[in-house]
Chain A
Amino acid sequence: MRKAETAGGVLLVLFALVMLREALRLPIGWTVSGPGAGFVPFWLSVGVAVAGAVILIQSLLPAPSAAEEAFIPAQAWKPLLVVFLPMAAVIAFINVLGIYLGGALYLVGYMRLVGRFRWLSVVVVSGLIPLVLFFIFEKWFLLPLPKGVFLERILYGR
């Protein structure tokens, strides 16, 4: 846990420094009409860096309770990745899959691999939900969501 605290502190300070560099590209001074565009971002980055550093130092100081437990329990890695990786994959290929097909695949994968549902319920649920969503968003509310190349071709030809 303490290692995770330290690592987190380091990451946060680094993040603050990246933001600080970005802020330095702007006018950070006080102009005739008040603070420049970079004034607030600059001082906030400094503040975040300082606060992050304090957290980092706290994590390095000896703590009264030395209870050492793993930040992510060993048995938790698998379920976490099962949720995370497919999601990242669907987002990465969203332009190809679209939100509907991507969603359907995600449902199939999750229900089958994690939920261990029967194939029949898997197919019914993961077919029905994207279909309902499609009608709600695309047809009734006319809210265009990414449809992906396959659905585009089916719907509008080309």
Chain B
Amino acid sequence: MLLSVFDDLLFGLGVALTPYNLTVGIIGLVLGTAIGVLPGLGGTNGIALLLPLTFKLQPASAIILLASVYWGAIFGGAITSILFNIPGEPWSVATTFDGHPLAKQGKPGMALTAAFSSSFIGAFVSIVLFTFFAPPLAELALKFGPPENFAVLILALATFTGLGGGNPAKTIFMTLLGLLLATVGFDIVSGQPRMNFGQVALQSGVNFIVIAIGLFGLGEIFLTVEEGLRLEGIKGRIGFRDLWETWKLLPRYFATLVRATILGFWIGVLPGTGATPASFMSYGLAKQFSKHPERFGKGEVEGVVAPETAAHAAGIGALLPMITLGIPGSPTAAVMLAGFFIWGLNPGPLLFATNRDFVWGLIGSMYIANVIGVLLVLTLVPVFASINRIPFGILAPLIVIMSSIGAYATNNQVLDLWIMLGSGVAGYVFKKLDYPLAPLVVALVLGDMTEQALRQSLIMFQGNPAVFLGRPIAMIFLVAALALFALPAIQTFYRRRRARISQPAEVIG
């Protein structure tokens, strides 16, 4: 059994390493990185746009192209998050939390290196898991219905409860506000628009990437110009020395890397969740487990490592149910799945038998493309890092234009530009008044999915919540979530006790 996997893998690597497929893969990576950088072009969007081009290719080359675009987009998404505080991709929103502060402190190279390296580690370990355990994992994923998804999402929300730091009333307020904004739009369960004030344009909901671009990207610009119209760029050190220095740090985050990889990979495998919740959950957990949670949000390298590792691991994981079951694990995978029909394939478990070069060519190319991809982006770190040296007089309007394109392209509607501008102002005001922004965005992105999963579950149980008790997997996650919700309270209790005990020493010291 194991031997045959090695056999298949070698065969797949052979497919991926043919000069033609190698070229296709590299083109995909470059395109993908560009797509990741441009805020308007998400990985999902970009792959949908490239789909028609794959018509003329062999299925194996076509999937290698699209998958490479996906990897490139995951690498590239971190770049604008770190440099400009504008998330290039939904899953890189969490990367802005610590990535951008690092860049502002003159360490963009370090942040980028950490992002790319950890992203690669998450990807590589996930590919190995993918190679050897795809079919059993797919079976396990199928056991996750709406109740289990609900439990996982609640757990994701729970990881963020302690993230506020400052005023708890403000943290709670922002979380609830995010959840409330998530209800705007269209209610899939009743098939009716809701909370949209009669506006058809609002039926697409308050898109969290539009909000994130406004709150973080524009808000940051407002904060910067307020301190006087700074004209010069950030003078950061640029060079390959950052690589070594960052790599020396990485072993310290071993536990985070392992946790983020496993978590990300598994969340990716589950149908209907995807890389975005994985990245937030991973960030939240890293902070919960950290000895210095107060450093998060102020330029902690671990705060870049955690979401990036999970995001790329989830990206790989999302392809697993697509290949083994024909079920998309993420919106991006859903578009790739549309490609299967275009290439004349019917997705499903039979692919492993009937289209060996397709399935194993894809798996082989994951190894190749991610190795090439990380080398590519790492060599470009000094180039990306030097972007911050562009005079602010050019950079600021450029960021504004790119943000606008990004906000418009998410739903192809002008209303989102106003929402972006409004969130920009809100981001500025909130930041000045010390309202934490992260809980709002996390709640906004998870709220919709959570409510949907809850209501689907209750429909399945005919309105009886007690039936959750009969779903052991869901219960495990719900109990874990409860524990996490309670954790901050327990921690404060212990800290207070310890403080009381050590008080005399403090007086002396």
Q: List residues of chain A with CB under 8 Å of any chain B CB.
A: 4-5, 8, 12, 16, 19, 22-23, 26, 30-38, 40-41, 44-45, 47-48, 51-52, 54-55, 58, 71-73, 75-76, 79-80, 82-84, 87-88, 90-91, 94-95, 99, 103, 106-107, 110-111, 114-117, 125, 129-130, 133, 136-137, 141-146
1/0 contact string of B2-45 vs chain A (CB within 8 Å): 00000000000000000000000000000000010010110001
> Contact: A37 with B194, CB < 8 Å?
yes
> Contact: A51 with B172, CB < 8 Å?
yes
> Contact: B225 with A34, CB < 8 Å?
no
Q: How far is the CB of B221 from chain A (nearest CB, A)?
A: 6
Which residue of chain B has the shortest Cβ distance to A35 in the bound complex? B455
A115-B394 CB under 8 A given contacts A51-B173, A58-B169, A106-B400: yes
Instruction: Choose among B45, B172, B179, B221 the residue that contacts A143 (Cβ–Cβ < 8 A).
Output: B45
Q: How far is the CB of A95 from chain B (nearest CB, A)?
A: 7
Interface residues on B, range: 35 or more
> Contact: B409 with A145, CB < 8 Å?
yes
Chain B binding surface SS class = helix
The number of residue pairs between A and B whose CB atoms lie closer than 8 Å in the complex comes to: 173
> Contact: B194 with A145, CB < 8 Å?
no
Q: How far is the CB of B423 from chain A (nearest CB, A)?
A: 13
Q: Which of B169, B180, B190 counts the most A-chain CB atoms under 10 A from its CB?
A: B180
Which residue of chain A has the shortest Cβ distance to B403 in the bound complex? A87
CA distance in complex: A4, B425 (Å):
14
Determine the chain B residues whose CB is within 8 A of the CB of A34 once the complex forms: 454-455, 457-459, 463
> Contact: A91 with B421, CB < 8 Å?
yes
Given A55-B167, A83-B222, A130-B401: 17 more A-B contacts, CB < 8 Å = A8-B429, A8-B433, A34-B457, A34-B458, A35-B454, A35-B455, A40-B183, A40-B451, A76-B225, A79-B225, A79-B228, A83-B221, A91-B414, A91-B418, A99-B401, A115-B391, A115-B394
> Contact: A19 with B195, CB < 8 Å?
yes
> Contact: B176 with A22, CB < 8 Å?
no
CA distance in complex: A47, B173 (Å):
8
CA distance in complex: A95, B417 (Å):
12
